[in-house]
Structure 1
Amino acid sequence: MSTETPSAATNAAQPDANTAQPDATTAQPHATTGRPDAEPAAAQPSAPPSIHLRAIITWLAIFPLVAIGMLALAPVWADWHPVLRALLLTVIVVPLAVYLVVPRLLAGYGRLRRRAAATRR
Structure 2
Amino acid sequence: MRPLVTALLLATVLGSGASAQTTTTGSPAAPDAKTSQQSGGQESVTRPNTDKATPDGMPAGAHMNAKLERGANSFTEGEVRSRLNKAGFTDAKDLKKDDQGIWRGTAMHSGKSVSVGMDFKGNVAAQ
TM range (shorter): under 0.3
TM-score, normalised to structure 2, is 0.23
* Greater gyration radius: 1
Q: Which has the higher contact order (CA 8 A, sep 6+)?
A: 2
Larger proportion of strand: 2
Larger proportion of helix: 1
